[in-house]
Amino acid sequence: MTRFPTLVLAVLVVSAVAVPAAGQAGKNKDVLNPNLATDKELLPLPHMTEEIVKLIMEQRPFLKMEDFDKALNDTLTREQRTELYVKLFVPINLNKATNEELLLVPGAGRRMAHEFEEYRPYKALAQFRREIGKYVDDAEVARLEQYVFVPIDLNSASDEDILSIPGVGRRMLREFREYRPYTNIEQFRREIGKYVEEKEVARLERYVFIATEE
């Protein structure tokens, strides 16, 4: 049996531990996405009514959390919206979200919104976990992660990264990969627009970028 030197084994173990988890949209356990949730999923949520459900279904997709907040502004108070957003939220782009949008993240507050901005640009969600983990425990990092994402490079993203995009399954993964390499975002819109309507292309586009255009 081949034996590795002790030092080599130690390096292999450390390297395996250091590899960040793939997937650049936060792991979501408890928070629904208003762009994807069904009416049956929406109705039981805090302060939800059939009228509000109808409004959400008619106006989506919401391309920013700020847009969603404005849509509900005339129907729910700030306190009611804050309670609702614990369970219903449009994921925000860690690199581009405004301060106002960051403050909509449940429980974030001005101090945490400042920390979110301080470490821009985020290259991967693992970076968010590491940096924000300096201020809160793992459970709180995992909770906050449900509300955010880091855009992925269309040409180099792994399958798991692509599948982390809300609403993307194996079929759409295949289409994302089929047209590589992408030279510009217009190509993405054109090719993916063969399979989904324009609004859905715009929703998916929030989660991606092309490195040559950055």
One digit per residue, the tens of pLDDT, for the chain of length 214 reads: 444 344 333 333 333 333 344 568 877 778 999 999 999 999 999 999 999 999 999 999 999 999 999 999 999 999 999 999 999 999 999 999 999 999 999 999 999 999 999 999 999 999 999 999 999 999 999 999 999 999 999 999 999 999 999 999 999 999 999 999 999 999 999 999 999 999 999 999 999 999 977 5
pLDDT attached to residue 61: 97
How many Å apart are CA 23 and CA 52, to the nearest integer?
Answer: 32
User: What CATH topology corresponds to 152-213?
Assistant: DNA polymerase; domain 1 (1.10.150)
pLDDT attached to residue 138: 96
- Among 134, 48, 146, residue whose Cα is nearest residue 92: 146
The Cα diameter of the chain in Å comes to 71
The pTM score is 0.87
Q: Where are the domains of the chain?
A: 39-149, 152-213
Is residue 209 helix, strand or coil?
Answer: strand
pLDDT attached to residue 21: 42
- Among 153, 201, 161, residue whose Cα is nearest residue 181: 153
pLDDT attached to residue 214: 57
pLDDT attached to residue 118: 96
